[in-house]
Structure 1
Amino acid sequence: MENLPHPKDLDFNQENLAAAWKKWKKEFNLFLIATESDMKPDKVKTSMFLTCIGSKGRDIHSTLDFDSPDEEMNLQTVIEKFDAYCEPRKNITFLRHKFFTCGQAEHQKFDEYVVELRQKAQQCEFGNLTDSLTKDILICGIRDMRLRERLLREPNLDLQKTIQAGQSAEQTRLQSRMLNATSETRDNEISRVYSQHDRKGAKTQITRHMQSRHQNEQGGSDRKPAKFQAPSQHYVTNCHYCGYNHKRNKCPAFHKTCEKCKKQGHYAKMCKSRKFVHKVEIHTDDESDDDTHALEMITANNSRVHKIEKFKTPKDIWTVELKVNNSNVTFKIDTGADVTVLPFREYRNIIPKPQLQKTSTRLSAYNNTAIKVLGKCTAVIKYKELSKQIKFIVAKTNSHAVIDANTAKDLNLIQRISL
């Protein structure tokens, strides 16, 4: 036991010196017992005390008032003097402020956050309210918004139940990530195998397809063109803008002007100006895991009329100001959209800011130009008395935020009428 390490020097510059002193004193008493020094003379124990407490403690000891030299080396008297020195330096108001403003850090685990809160609560002298106040701050401070909403709905919730719910939610989230990672690894391996196979047969398939289509156009054959299946990672089949199959990002209609709507990016035969208003489509290739959302502006007038509440803008674009969490964001109502897009410049200003997560979703403009996707997040969107928790795709774009059709309908922003 003689080689047992002694307590570290006491740091007298800590914010809560009283708590630090109390902890150090307990460690020193355990050290005396463990080394069988608790029965030794006071002069020996006091010398051990002054050795362990550090140079700053020894300096303080030399300034304390003692009635006699014997009292100066009496351990009980020395400890009482240090009690008097450390206790007045405890600032309850400041310690309570730190407790009430303690939120969960970005990468802090739930259990670590609970330990931090409990340690701060012990310093605040709350008495019988300690557990109740710890529970309240715990619910308000966690970063998981869904868990917070669920806990706020519970009528009879104590600290122990709150901790169990938080631990369960975090464990479930970690298990889900592990399952997703395993699934993605398996899908990537399968995709890699198919990709190698596609590269070998792609050239032959493309040649046969082009010959078959040429013969069909010249009337040289009554047979239907052979079904063409190009590798989804490199080719687009039945392009929505030109109608042909071609390499990705090599659409022949890219710089062409439509004869119907006079807009660039598609042929007249593929013009959809009579079908949709502000359409957002999803193009999913057969062997691709990612969703590609193509954003396009198409003006239409047909028998389907969408009634939109009165919003006035200079350029006749249907926009509305909505609340995302506690922040105002101007959205463009897109009646054909099935994803809600939030520009990064708007995401940065949202308070409280939702956590940005990875996503495989891809966005592209009507002319097949890719739009950089930064991730996805979940937040509450509100209009008047109606609110809904939805998923946003966060993108690096200078355009308006776009609200999808289903969300706009749920918030009573649009409704369909028959003419």
Structure 2
Amino acid sequence: MSKSHTTSTNIATEWPKWKQQFTVWMIANGKMGRPDNEKIAIFIWLLGEQGIAIYNTLYPNDGAEKSMLGIDMSAPTEETPDAVQQRTLNEVMKSFDEFCVPRKNIAMESYKFNMISQKERQSFTEFETELRKQIQYCEFKSDCGKRYEDRMLRDRIIVGVHDKKLQLKLLDGRDETLAKVVDTCKVFEALTNTSKC
């Protein structure tokens, strides 16, 4: 979404990352307490070309401040005759969530996750990081809403580790937790690297 991401075609994966960076930036710079029109202006400024095109699609405007920021001076109510209706940053963020997230193909994201295997000479930490990055797009949860990412990560690590001795050791682990499987892999890798020296 930022200027460096203007050519990105995978909005479903780029938007959550950009949203997180934007939120952290707003908090770190003390901007979260500012009025919504200022927060939206900052949001628009930081979006980059692709993001602005999406914003203008979601909120058609004539480029004027009131039109662009969603300030409506013509909608007072009986209780608040001097009230000004204004778009909020939360509404804008929710609109972007709804616009971007439906474009995520959960089946494809899960397929990518399940195809990840540790490459030859790839460290376990790199392999684990690759899995953890991909799993956040998979939405692994049951019908009751309970998440089961740890189970999926554990199973994918066991299936995908490159070293077959380590894989057998993990399979013999009597249903260990994800933390225990990760620890076993790191210790095994450290011992293997030490013995090669």
Match of 2:191 among 172, 184, 192: 172
- Structure 1 residues 132 and 39: alpha-carbon distance in aligned structure 2, compared to 1, 3 A threshold: closer
- What is the 5 A alignment of 1:164-203? 164-178=183-197
Match of 1:82 among 88, 96, 107: 96
> Are the aligned partners of 2:3 and 2:49 in contact in 1 as well (CA < 8 Å)?
no
1:104 is the counterpart of 2:118: yes
> Are the aligned partners of 1:9 and 1:52 in contact in 2 as well (CA < 8 Å)?
no
Between the aligned partners of 1:129 and 1:40, the Cα distance in structure 2 is 38
Hey, what does 1:142 align to over in structure 2? Answer: 161
> Are the aligned partners of 2:6 and 2:49 in contact in 1 as well (CA < 8 Å)?
no
Hey, what does 2:149 align to over in structure 1? Answer: 130
Unaligned runs of 5+ in 2: 72-86, 142-146
Match of 1:13 among 3, 8, 15: 8
State the Cα distance separating 1:102 from its structure 2 match: 0.6
Report the AA paired with residue 8 of structure 2.
N
1:53 is the counterpart of 2:47: yes
Unaligned runs of 5+ in 1: 1-6, 179-419
- Structure 1 residues 130 and 38: alpha-carbon distance in aligned structure 2, compared to 1, 3 A threshold: closer
State the Cα distance separating 1:8 from its structure 2 match: 6.2
Report the AA paired with residue 137 of structure 2.
Q
Report the AA paired with residue 134 of structure 2.
K
Deviations 1:178-236 (A, max 9, x none): 2xxxxxxxxxxxxxxxxxxxxxxxxxxxxxxxxxxxxxxxxxxxxxxxxxxxxxxxxxx
- Secondary structure class of the residue paired with 1:54: helix
Hey, what does 2:22 align to over in structure 1? Answer: 28
> Are the aligned partners of 1:10 and 1:24 in contact in 2 as well (CA < 8 Å)?
no
Report the AA paired with residue 71 of structure 1.
G
- What is the 5 A alignment of 1:264-413? none
- Secondary structure class of the residue paired with 2:148: helix
> Are the aligned partners of 2:153 and 2:178 in contact in 1 as well (CA < 8 Å)?
yes
Report the AA paired with residue 24 of structure 1.
W
State the Cα distance separating 1:134 from its structure 2 match: 1.4
Q: Which has the higher contact order (CA 8 A, sep 6+)?
A: 2
Deviations 1:307-352 (A, max 9, x none): xxxxxxxxxxxxxxxxxxxxxxxxxxxxxxxxxxxxxxxxxxxxxx
State the Cα distance separating 1:99 from its structure 2 match: 0.8
Share of identical aligned residues, percent? 32
1:158 is the counterpart of 2:177: yes
Between the aligned partners of 1:58 and 1:9, the Cα distance in structure 2 is 14
Between the aligned partners of 2:110 and 2:22, the Cα distance in structure 1 is 28
Deviations 1:45-76 (A, max 9, x none): 22211121111111221222469825276423
> Are the aligned partners of 2:37 and 2:88 in contact in 1 as well (CA < 8 Å)?
yes
Between the aligned partners of 1:157 and 1:74, the Cα distance in structure 2 is 47
Report the AA paired with residue 49 of structure 1.
F
Between the aligned partners of 1:170 and 1:79, the Cα distance in structure 2 is 43
Deviations 1:382-403 (A, max 9, x none): xxxxxxxxxxxxxxxxxxxxxx
Between the aligned partners of 1:14 and 1:144, the Cα distance in structure 2 is 35
Report the AA paired with residue 70 of structure 2.
E
Report the AA paired with residue 29 of structure 1.
T
Between the aligned partners of 1:91 and 1:9, the Cα distance in structure 2 is 23
Between the aligned partners of 1:136 and 1:37, the Cα distance in structure 2 is 42
Deviations 1:225-253 (A, max 9, x none): xxxxxxxxxxxxxxxxxxxxxxxxxxxxx
Report the AA paired with residue 102 of structure 1.
I
Q: Say which structure is richer in strand.
A: 1
> Are the aligned partners of 1:103 and 1:142 in contact in 2 as well (CA < 8 Å)?
yes
Give the TM-score taking structure 1 as reference length. 0.38
State the Cα distance separating 1:87 from its structure 2 match: 1.2
State the Cα distance separating 1:12 from its structure 2 match: 6.7
> Are the aligned partners of 1:10 and 1:53 in contact in 2 as well (CA < 8 Å)?
no
> Are the aligned partners of 2:36 and 2:88 in contact in 1 as well (CA < 8 Å)?
yes
- Structure 1 residues 170 and 8: alpha-carbon distance in aligned structure 2, compared to 1, 3 A threshold: farther
Hey, what does 1:91 align to over in structure 2? Answer: 105
* Matched positions, count: 171
> Are the aligned partners of 2:128 and 2:157 in contact in 1 as well (CA < 8 Å)?
yes
